[in-house]
Amino acid sequence: MKIALAQLNYHIGNFSSNVQKIINSIQKAEQAGADLVVFAELAISGYPPRDFLEFDDFINRCNLALNEITSHCKRIGAIVGLPTFNQGKKGKPLYNSAAFIADGQVKKYIHKSLLPNYDIFDEYRYFEPNKTFEIIEFQDRKIALTICEDLWNVQDNPLYTVNPMDELMPMNPDLIINIAASPFNYHQIEIRTEILRRNAEKYKIPLFYVNHVGAQTELIFDGGSLVMSAKGQVVDELHYFEEDLKIFELDDICNPEDIKIKDNKPVIGMIHNALVMGIRNYFQKLGFQKAIIGLSGGIDSAMTAALAAEALGHENVYNILMPSEFSSEHSVNDAIKLAENLKMPYDVISIAEAYDTLENTLKPHFKNLPFNIAEENIQARIRGVLLMALSNKFGYILLNTSNKSEVAVGYSTLYGDMNGGLSVLGDVYKTQVFELAHYINREKEIIPFHIISKPPSAELRPNQKDTDSLPEYDILDEILYQYIENRLGPKEIIALGFDENLVKRILKLVNMSEYKRYQTPPILRVSSKAFGMGRRMPIVGKYLS
């Protein structure tokens, strides 16, 4: 039996596009001699549809789309994911389902059993878990059809009291098919592969795995669909960060002669590819083409511009340089050199006149108090106003340039440099931003060396440096990583060797800045714990603040 894995970039709620992609893949697989073609979890709706699932019309459209797909499966079988109504009288109104199609009709629905309800996942909000286990039969083969999380209860700390494959094994399946929506983070590839390997080795049958690819707002799906032998060997895998379709002969997977050795993928390269795809898909799926960026001459805006130029085309990234009396000459020159290196359009708009006007307007109300953060933030907000005005006038999307280190401790200005339609670096620590810069410059100098080598500064007061307010970034980022990603408390972090007063100050800054993060644009997620939908904290909480 020949099985095709179709790894596609779906668009949530765009039924015509999703259906056409699925049908095109069915036809391509059929022409290439495949007997069965497999699509990802919730392929018809896109993932995650979130509260669209509360609309009966949305579910009805999914089912109409399934009918259209079914009509193209008269000589080939297909497995495709979609939400379906729960016809029972009790439980959640929907199932997360896989439709098995053959001979021009839906032969069977298999429902997802294990519904993740952690981090970015909230499937139990919408779906009823399956409690009845059955296999599907096709061309004299028995298939254990599972949906994403159904294979994940083999971890060392299982979250569920049931394991779907344990329930299916007494029926003697010949293979496992798993359709998934597994978002990217820079640890996920290794974790995911290990989970799949544990299943193949435990049940001693080959495994076919299909993942989404593409970005859905802040979530990025890396693809990496694969086939695995009964011994847990990765026989082959599909491309990362792009659509792909491959056909495999089941007998070859059962008795593989050639094993594909997985290349070591540099973490920073995967982050780079994820961010580029995240920007590109955000614009494509919203129907926009052009971005605008406030280019300061610092590394964060330089990195954002370089990623955007790669994602959208250099001609579609408009850069605005907005110097003030505190801006150094080299920052302006650095920004211009970057724009010229990438052949991006740019303009220079001084904020001096606007700042003087506002300063004079506020002077009688500031009661002769000394220059402080108020005047610093005025500068950032003037820049925000200018960028949003140009965005409104010409239909650009403003890209936010704040990195995760700044976002974590609130080292940014609401309604100023925190403006934007999308945060590109909000899940990338400052130390990782420097790594990304070196990665982009791996073949030639794109980001000017001086931007990378100079001490970071907001340049909002004379001789300002980031280290005036924050520790060195290698120390700050490690403390933040232990708190945010690893969820360690202050005593545990101090025990790692960090200064007690510094740890307490940093954690206090993180928790006190929650109100700012609540107002940030969507942040492209590349870590295992990003700010946004996967990290839910109370604004008025007192813990560590």
Helix, strand, coil share of the chain (percent; to 5): 40, 20, 40
Express each pLDDT in 64-81 by its tens digit: 999 999 999 999 999 999
Q: CA–CA separation, 38 vs 98, rounded Å?
A: 10
Q: Could you confirm whether 41 is annotated as catalytic? A: yes
Q: Could you confirm whether 148 is annotated as catalytic? A: yes
Q: Which helix (H) or strand (E) holds 278?
A: helix 267-286
Q: 259: pLDDT confidence band, cut at 50, 70 and 90?
A: low
Query: What is the mean pLDDT of the segment spanning 47-69?
Result: 98
Give the model's pLDDT for residue 466: 73
Give the model's pLDDT for residue 467: 75
pLDDT at 398 over 80: yes
Q: CA–CA separation, 19 vs 13, rounded Å?
A: 11
Q: 263: pLDDT confidence band, cut at 50, 70 and 90?
A: low
What residues contact 297, with CB distance under 8 A and at least 6 apart?
Answer: 321, 327, 328, 330, 331, 332, 333, 334, 335, 451
Give the model's pLDDT for residue 282: 98
pLDDT at 262 over 70: no
325 vs 222, more confident: 222
Please provide residue 91's backbone torsions phi and psi, each rounded to the nearest 5 degrees.
95, 180
- Encoded amino acid at 531, one letter: F
Q: 461: pLDDT confidence band, cut at 50, 70 and 90?
A: low
Express each pLDDT in 128-148 by its tens digit: 999 999 999 999 999 999 999
pLDDT at 258 over 70: no
Torsion of CA 531, 310, 272, 226, to 10 degrees: 110
What domains does the chain contain, in order, with CATH numbers? 2-256 (3.60.110.10), 270-465 (3.40.50.620)
SS (H, E, C) 301-369: HHHHHHHHHHHHCHHHEEEEECCCCCCCHHHHHHHHHHHHHCCCCEEECCCHHHHHHHHHHHHHHCCCC
- The residue from 148, 285, 376, 406 that is catalytic is 148
Q: 261: pLDDT confidence band, cut at 50, 70 and 90?
A: low
What residues contact 427, with CB distance under 8 A and at least 6 apart?
Answer: 404, 523, 524, 525, 526, 527, 530, 531
Q: Could you confirm whether 73 is annotated as catalytic? A: no
pLDDT at 460 over 80: no
- The residue from 2, 21, 73, 112 that is catalytic is 112
Q: 537: pLDDT confidence band, cut at 50, 70 and 90?
A: very high
The whole-model pTM stands at 0.95
DSSP annotation of 4 = E
Q: Where are the beta strands (DSSP E) in 135-211?
A: 136-138, 141-147, 175-179, 207-210
- The residue from 30, 41, 128, 406 that is catalytic is 41
Q: 255: pLDDT confidence band, cut at 50, 70 and 90?
A: confident
- Lowest mean per-residue pLDDT among 152-161, 406-415, 459-468: 459-468
